[in-house]
Amino acid sequence: MKALQYLNKYFFKYKYRLLIGIIITVASKFLALQVPQLIRQSVNIAEDYTNGIVSDLPIVKAQLLNNILLIVGAALLAGFFTFLMRQTIIVMSRLIEFDLKNEIYQQYQRLSLNFYKQNQTGDLMNRISEDVSKVRMYFGPAIMYSINMLVLFVVAIIKMYNIDPILTNYTLLPLPILSISIYILSRVINKRSTIVQQYLSKLTANAQETFSGISILKSYGIEHKTMVEFGTLANEAQDKNINLFKAQALFFPLMILLIGLSNILVIYIGGMRYIEGTISLGVIAEFIMYVNMLTWPVAVVGWVTSIVQQAEASQQRINEFLKHEPEIKNNQEQPSTIEGTIEFKNVTFTYDDTNITALKNVSFKLEKGKTLAILGNTGSGKSTIINLIARLYDVDTGEILIDGTNIEQLNLNNLRQNIGFVPQEAFLFSDTIKNNIKFGDENASNAKIEQAAKDAYIHHNIIEFNKGYDTYVGERGVTLSGGQKQRISIARAIIKNPNILIFDDCLSAVDTETEEIILNNLHKISRNKTTLIVSHRVSSVKNADVIIILEDGKIIQKGSHNELVNIDGYYKELYEQQLLEKEI
């Protein structure tokens, strides 16, 4: 129950709803428990009449009718209260489910990039959906039936002891056996349920990955292999599920067996005591009713225990994520103004998971409003510099200063709001082109959206689509070409109008003519903005104020285009080679 303690705050939040629910439940059970008593009285009246103790038939009939009316009235009221009980407690569980999902979602938003690399999307989805559903069962049915059972048990047993303690002892004899069996079974169910949830996460993650990469799978013709892998995993999950259900299936037969035993005991011991003249016939009828009224609550003990065990297992998985502290924290609550001067001072950075030192003692300074271009072979650390400026990671040694302040001391939201980032792989949401561009500025007018698209040299393509800016982009923008996606991604960054613009090799999928047009536009837009361009092409970087060349995480050359073409080295070689390619 340790993991579930985390949820006590929600009980506190909805305490009034819970309290009303409890009162209603108690009232409904009190009413239901009036019925066996009335049955006893009715049987006794009939017995007294047959034994000749009472001889006035009209009085007997009137008493019986009175009892019947009371039984119907109590049953109707109990039913109405049961309806109200569901309205309060089950509705409370739905509200808590909603709150918990929001809490997890907000935590997902806070978590750093590293967390997403370590955990699969399917698993994240599973915890926020499947696991939360299991936890909801604890708030709703488990609590409702527990209160139900507790009231029935306490009230019925007190009543039974008051009538005949000896018969009650015999009737309740099978209960300790039941409790022990339930306890043992619940432990088994808990273990198996955790395994089932883990397999469900694996299955979801596998399916999610397959659907995301479906075009690759199809083009490589490996659908069959993927199906076999999925099939194997699904079979394993099925086995684990069957194991779980085998344990769960034992519950009801066990309950029915032990309740049946109680019934036999009531009839046998009750019959003997009736013959002895210790109890009336009505008591046997009343006890049989109690035993049967207790059947469901006793059966529910097992069910509730397994719900609580499963909820505990699920909440443990949810807590793992909720308690995960984001590595990148906002250390500055006060707003920070970002103008755009960027300085790297002896920055060294190693990726935790791969242990690759991507940057080694890198230093440079870029004044506000200037353009820096970064060139270098693949894997030399270009994107890493960009990632560090957006504070997707924190540096190991050295420091990054923005306008003279250490980046870790700036308000994280303000920093990211001031960066327009175009990643290497353009990502578009399943939404219209317009909304994909507007993502950079929620309040942008149509004119502003069009201007951004014109600057990114994509407007002429968009208006050719049947629905223009309202064209729906499929998941990951599958209906657009790579170059079109890149340009929409550029428009999204431009419309944000940030002080720092970052283009991470985002013109790789467009031809050199288009590149030239976009670069000219960007030159105008980014006049007063600090701009970083990562590229493999000299044509993209030649107008930059400073160009740095990276090799294996170190800066090996630094200077303007004119300076670097006159020095032997990487840049000059690249320039000559690309010049030659152009001529060919």
**Binding footprint of ligand ATP on the chain (CB under 6 A):** 351, 353-354, 356, 358, 376, 378-384, 424, 505
Burial class (CB in 10 A: 0-12, 13-18, 19+), 275: exposed
Alpha carbon distance 411, 334 (integer Å): 7
* Cβ neighbours of residue 120 closer than 8 Å, sequence gap 6 or more: 201, 205, 208, 209
Nearer to ligand ATP, 290 or 393 (CB): 393
Nearer to ligand ATP, 114 or 316 (CB): 114
- Taking the complex as a whole, how short is the minimal distance between the CB of residue 577 and ligand ATP, in angstroms? 17
C-beta atoms surrounding 400 within 10 Å: 22
For residues 426 and 485, is the Cβ–Cβ distance under 8 A? yes
Alpha carbon distance 173, 7 (integer Å): 36
Nearer to ligand ATP, 157 or 392 (CB): 392
Q: 200: closest CA among 313, 65, 117, 282?
A: 313
- Taking the complex as a whole, how short is the minimal distance between the CB of residue 214 and ligand ATP, in angstroms? 24
Nearer to ligand ATP, 302 or 423 (CB): 423
Residue 254 tokens read as 């066990």
Report the alpha-carbon angle 40-45-46, nearest 5.
100
Whole-angstrom Cα Rg for the chain: 36
- Taking the complex as a whole, how short is the minimal distance between the CB of residue 406 and ligand ATP, in angstroms? 22
Q: With residue 507 as reference, give the H or E element that holds it.
A: none
Nearer to ligand ATP, 103 or 209 (CB): 209
- Taking the complex as a whole, how short is the minimal distance between the CB of residue 550 and ligand ATP, in angstroms? 6
Nearer to ligand ATP, 357 or 411 (CB): 357
Residue 518 tokens read as 């976009």
* Cβ neighbours of residue 214 closer than 8 Å, sequence gap 6 or more: none
Alpha carbon distance 526, 417 (integer Å): 16
Which amino acid is located at 144 in the chain? M
Which amino acid is located at 205 in the chain? A
* Cβ neighbours of residue 115 closer than 8 Å, sequence gap 6 or more: 324, 326, 327
Tokens 């791969």 belong to residue: 354
Nearer to ligand ATP, 303 or 393 (CB): 393
- Taking the complex as a whole, how short is the minimal distance between the CB of residue 114 and ligand ATP, in angstroms? 8
SS3 content of the chain, % helix, strand, coil (to 5): 65, 10, 20
Residue 565 tokens read as 């073409």
- Taking the complex as a whole, how short is the minimal distance between the CB of residue 196 and ligand ATP, in angstroms? 32
- Taking the complex as a whole, how short is the minimal distance between the CB of residue 378 and ligand ATP, in angstroms? 3
Nearer to ligand ATP, 384 or 530 (CB): 384
- Taking the complex as a whole, how short is the minimal distance between the CB of residue 527 and ligand ATP, in angstroms? 26
Alpha carbon distance 238, 242 (integer Å): 6
Nearer to ligand ATP, 103 or 551 (CB): 551
Alpha carbon distance 379, 159 (integer Å): 79
- Taking the complex as a whole, how short is the minimal distance between the CB of residue 498 and ligand ATP, in angstroms? 21
Beta pairing, strands 357-366 & 500-504: unpaired
Alpha carbon distance 544, 374 (integer Å): 10
Rounded alpha-carbon distances, angstroms, from residue 10 to 137, 303, 374, 401, 520: 14, 23, 51, 43, 56
- Taking the complex as a whole, how short is the minimal distance between the CB of residue 534 and ligand ATP, in angstroms? 7
Nearer to ligand ATP, 335 or 379 (CB): 379
Nearer to ligand ATP, 309 or 380 (CB): 380
HSE (side-chain half, CA atoms, 13 Å) at 384: 25
- Taking the complex as a whole, how short is the minimal distance between the CB of residue 505 and ligand ATP, in angstroms? 6
- Taking the complex as a whole, how short is the minimal distance between the CB of residue 361 and ligand ATP, in angstroms? 15
Nearer to ligand ATP, 121 or 430 (CB): 121
